[in-house]
Amino acid sequence: MKWDEFFVTGDPLIYGAMVSIVLVSLAILFGLTYYKKWGYMWREWLTTVDHKKIGVMYIICALIMLFRGGVDALMMRAQTAAPEMKFLTGQHYNEVFTTHGVIMILFMAMPFIFGLMNVIIPLQIGARDVAFPKLNAISFWLFFAGAMLFNISFVIGGSPDAGWSAYFPLASIEFSPTVGNNYYSLALQISGIGTLLTGVNFIVTILKMRAPGMTLMRMPMFTWSVLITCVIIIFAFPVLTIALLLMMFDRVFGSQFFTMSNGGMDMLWANLFWVWGHPEVYIVILPAFGIFSEIISTFSKKNLYGYGSMVFSMVIISALSFLVWAHHFYTMGQGAMVNGFFSITTMAIAVPTGVKIFNWLFTLRKGRISFTTPMLYSLAFIPIFTIGGVTGVMLAMASADYQYHNTMFLVAHFHYVLIPGAVFAVIAGFHYWFPKVFGFRLNEKLGKIAFWFIAISFNVTFFPMFFLGLMGMTRRTYTYSAETGFGPLNMLSMVGAVGLAIGFVILVYNIYWSTRYEPRDKTGDPWDARALEWSTPSPVPVYNFAVTPQVKGRDAYWFSKKNNEPLSDEKITKIHMPSNTGKPFILGIAFFFLGFFLVFSWWIPSIVAGVAVLIIMATMSFDRDHGYYIPVEEIVQTEQKLRGDTV
């Protein structure tokens, strides 16, 4: 490979991106050096095993990825805003929608949810940390390595261009000869391993580390949703691992899994991809359901209505999520009976989802609803997501899907599901739990302005797409002629996209503004909420709970406040903590280089990096560090400082 092929050249937008990447990196390096923060970075963040800090790092990455994916989205909307636009070339547009999809699902929604999970789950179940803190750090750094690997593709070697679903033979070396899809397979593989480990870690955490008295049916709904999500992860992600492995073999080693000759079967990829891909949708949606349940209950000042059926419906959804994958390709010609089966299983998902919607509505009933920013996102979720849900039922009807498939109608549908379902949820959760982590709330006024921009612009952007689909506009089309009549609605959609962008800018500005001016919260419970995480002081001390709480029922903290009973009557004892380690970070770097060298099929460096990975893992195995203890005096002092009173 020549050097001029190594870097992507020829497009002013790419040059702009390169320059900005270099400038931002330099600014970060300079800033760290100038403010002498290298040691701080290393000690407090890069080597941390604290679930709260790992969670924060996940969320920071997710916000950066939201920016990247959002810019992709704006570019797509700009290119299609009017007929025959000349903003992007066809190839560039293809790369942009591919990276938009991959980044938004795998490097924005998932890490955002993982971030909230990391911060909140141990707190909600009254635990000191997750079950395996070091493994948790490894998960994060593997995700980070994968995300970085995926993102450098657009300046080095070229981005993947076969859509986020990367159907074969389009994604094969024959039709997509750049290294773009190598990046796809390896970046997703690396971060996918991290995801799988997170799944294992959180199941053990939730099942084994709950505070005494917290039976399964006393767990907060967010914890339940994460437990079920992790079970899905354990069964779905290995399928992706294999699919990506086969993809890499086909592209790099010339195997014949999905080829057009020698017996390869292109639709096998589509099947494997969606056997993972559909459960993946629920991996991002179910925790969202949990977040909304927490928030709606808190701000209605009521317990969650129909707790049992809420749990049961999530279990049903997770089971059904593995039985619906073929609805992504009804049009493959598998016949009316197979399609009928998958139609019915798909529509069946509407039943448990409907149960949840009604339970939320009845949680509101007889409540005392206050419209805070997190509550606004949660309330906006209900009507918007219902549109996403009913259009999902429409798409589930195999016959009708012959007309919706691959059109903008589909695009509108899944944005109506994923944006209120996943994005609104993580933003709501972000606003809701922000004071827990940082000790102050985000400004409500700015938060509400951002909310209205986002909620209204969302509908302006995506509602027209339902009609564009019915007019016959296919998705992933980079240009169209004026005679099609697609112009006006696309322009409207562009207007909405700009509004969404403004909303997100206000949201980020709010973080800056609130950091400077928002009053600090001394109570640890600014929303008068219900679950255990609010019983700790804010920001949460490194050991979480000075004494392990004892749980007597659901909404344990709420009833402890109401009945004026302390959560625990035990005395403070010394607390065992895991020590920090830099090895997960180094392992992440090694995996990054392993992936990078494999992308370019540079064998010797790949082998070196692979050996490095094994050596780092071996040194971790030889580690005999069993952590350290925080003495009682230190705990007492911390608690006094944070609460402003004695314990």
Partner 1 sequence: MKIDATQPLEYGTEENRNRIFGFWLFLGAEIALFATLFTVYFVLVNRFASGPSGAEIFEITPVLLETFLLLTSSFTIGLAVHAMRLGLKKQMMIFMVITLLLGAGFLGIEIFEFFTYVHEGVTLSTSAFASSLFTLLGTHGAHVTFGLLWGTAILIQLKKHGLDHSTANKSFIFSLYWHFLDVVWIFIFSFVYLKGLM
Partner 2 sequence: MNKRGPLFALLLSFTLLLSGCSSLTVLDPKGPAARTLSDTIIFSILMMVGILAVVYALYIFMLTKYRAKKSNEGYEPPHEEGNKWLEILWTAIPILIVAVLSVVTVKTTVAVENVPEGYENQEPLVIYASSSNWKWHFSYPEEGIETVNYVNIPTHRPIEFRLYSFGTISSFWIPQLHGQKYAMSDMITKLNMVADEPGSMMGRNANFNGEGFAHMEFEALAMSSTEYDKWVQDVTETAPELKEDEFKKLLETAHVGRMSFSNTHLEFSPPPSEDHHHGGDVNGNEEHQDHKDVHPDPATTEETEFDSETNVDPNEPLPNFPAEESPNHQHDGH
Binding to partner 1 (CB under 8 A) within 458-517 occurs at: none
In the bound complex, what is the minimum distance in angstroms from residue 189's beta carbon to partner 2? 23
Spatial contact of 65 and 103, defined as CB atoms under 8 Å apart: yes
The reply to whether 528 sits near partner 2 by the rule CB under 8 A is no
Residues 340-369 interacting with partner 2 (rule: CB under 8 A): 340, 343-344, 347-348, 350-351, 354-355, 357-359, 361-362, 364-369
x-or-dash pattern for partner 2, window 122-161, by CB under 8 A?
A: ---------------------------------------x
The reply to whether 216 sits near partner 2 by the rule CB under 8 A is no
Amino acid at 6: F
Total Cβ atoms within 10 A of residue 39: 9
527, 546, 568: which is closest to 634 by C-alpha? Answer: 546
247, 245, 183: which is closest to 599 by C-alpha? Answer: 183
For the chain, the C-alpha Rg in angstroms (whole number) is: 25
The reply to whether 215 sits near partner 2 by the rule CB under 8 A is no
Our CB check for partner 1 shows the closer of 238 and 488 to be: 238
- As a dihedral over the C-alpha atoms of residue 390, residue 393, residue 394, residue 398, rounded to 10 degrees, the angle is 170
Q: Which stretch binds partner 1 (CB under 8 A): 17-25, 26-34, 287-295, 617-625?
A: 617-625
In the bound complex, what is the minimum distance in angstroms from residue 208's beta carbon to partner 2? 28
Our CB check for partner 1 shows the closer of 188 and 501 to be: 188
Q: How far apart are CA 477 and CA 481, in angstroms?
A: 11
For residue 78, count CB atoms less than 10 angstroms from its CB and return exposed for 0-12, middle for 13-18, buried for 19 or more.
Answer: middle
Token pair 């999970």: residue: 117
Q: Is the dihedral angle over the CA atoms 241, 243, 248, 254 positive or is it negative?
A: positive
Q: Which stretch binds partner 1 (CB under 8 A): 81-89, 171-179, 180-188, 232-240?
A: 232-240
x-or-dash pattern for partner 2, window 424-463, by CB under 8 A?
A: -------------------------------xx--xx--x
Residues 254-273 interacting with partner 1 (rule: CB under 8 A): 254-257, 259, 261-265, 268, 272
Total Cβ atoms within 10 A of residue 91: 14
The reply to whether 184 sits near partner 1 by the rule CB under 8 A is no
x-or-dash pattern for partner 1, window 275-294, by CB under 8 A?
A: x-------------------
Our CB check for partner 1 shows the closer of 3 and 253 to be: 253
The reply to whether 267 sits near partner 2 by the rule CB under 8 A is yes
Q: How far apart are CA 617 and CA 627, in angstroms?
A: 19
In the bound complex, what is the minimum distance in angstroms from residue 266's beta carbon to partner 1? 11
The reply to whether 208 sits near partner 1 by the rule CB under 8 A is yes
- How many amino acids of this chain bind partner 1 (CB under 8 A)? 45
Please state, in angstroms and as integers, the Cα–Cα distance from residue 142 to each residue in 406, 587, 618, following that order.
33, 8, 17
Total Cβ atoms within 10 A of residue 354: 15
In the bound complex, what is the minimum distance in angstroms from residue 431's beta carbon to partner 2? 17
Within a 13 Å sphere around the CA of 81, how many CA atoms are in the beta-carbon half?
16
The reply to whether 582 sits near partner 2 by the rule CB under 8 A is no
Please state, in angstroms and as integers, the Cα–Cα distance from residue 449 to each residue in 60, 390, 465, following that order.
22, 29, 25
Q: What do you get for the CA distance between the two ends of the chain, in Å?
A: 66
| Residue 369 interacts with which of partner 1, partner 2, none, CB < 5 to 8 Å by class | partner 2
In the bound complex, what is the minimum distance in angstroms from residue 207's beta carbon to partner 1? 7
